[in-house]
Structure 1
């Protein structure tokens, strides 16, 4: 008999592990069926789906867990999906020398619009790890997504802060992945209310085990193999584009190699969120989020 788990998450290539687990039968092998709730993309709806009981698990940022706690729930992390931010600093392919982190002082950075505040927190933390602050760089905001790419390529700014997928452009080159300085972070985790874990603990344990099996399988595969396996879930991509994105994610170690959340990563992410203003300076993520 199959046990269903309803998951609220974005339909995104960043979450390849769960789709690879479905495609390779690893969830089915543990008698788990995944049902995805299509959020409208807002925090209110993503978190609200858990509050309303429309889903069992939320996959996303730990910050969502803070919102769950604010509503009176007792969220716990049941598994980890991603261990890096996918955001990067890119330069034009114009023959100029690739910047290092120390070279950013005094440089102008075009900021791609619409990025989550957690991406900004990770970038701020990465700057701090490099001995820099936002006061050491010049930020250029205000472009639309399309114009930000076009204007940077045209010559506006020295560096482009952007999502990794967008950076895979013929006229751009990724020079500084944010994770290079920020380190590994519990970027995307599966969270549930503690009461559900008490009721369905064995099901959630089997889910975490299947995810762990998938993550270890992913770590040993080529980008071509992974892209072919998950392609049915992402028909909007050409095979070439899909493989390129998977290869990029593999190059930065986006996906965790175990479903067990790492407490050192939680501590590091707490520091970054404090610096970014998303967590009070006297608080840790574990004050709001349990780990099972």
Structure 2
């Protein structure tokens, strides 16, 4: 049979009229793969090989199966189709059929893939300091071959940048100088042509702030108010954990903490700069914002305007009563 195979190699003519068509490609580990000829050809003798490794040879209705394929490979004597059962990843390759009666040669590539299972994401730490910490995440699987890895932060795909590196075939994601927007949830999605899987999410606790402070008075941008007004000042700061807030008037701390400072029936001597001070005892950072409040009597023009506005209302109420 080996001599017969060498004889085939020595004068085999390539035929563009016949193609090898796999029944499934790619195949999954454990599948049975059949490689047929198209159009069908009645081959009296020939051989099948993968790369340079012989699988079997046949003549008429007799076949010889080579080591490694016993019990797995068989030939259809009428059509020359090869059937290979219980395929493994190692069965991937270029399959070549050759015949001298009639004389032809054809081939096709087959991929055998292992399905993805048990996708796991691990991080070397989960408590991070903004701009001072780096984190490395590793994506792994229990099984799978010819894998591609996609990283997600929430609903956004993670791509490389000056802070973000993907290594080890995208299996490792490293983020340097993390920001508050890197808190996650992070997932890795692993896939090949026959299966896919995603890891459980991983979230990070990122310590930052305080910064981006804001201060409003009575929910407005104005800072001038009349004597007797009630004022509610609201202070906010971006911070994790939430910042401790303290109020000051004219540079002196007042007996008020938290986001609200309320003043009732204010007088002129309460005019001046009001400050909100924020402190994060985890980052050991502080920030502040100041607004200057003016409290005064209504001017004559303003008083006349109020009187003109109130007069029709007083006439209406007087008429009703």
TM-score using structure 2 length: 0.22
Give the helix-richer structure, 1 or 2.
Answer: 1
- Structure with larger Rg: 2
TM-score normalized with structure 1 length:
0.23
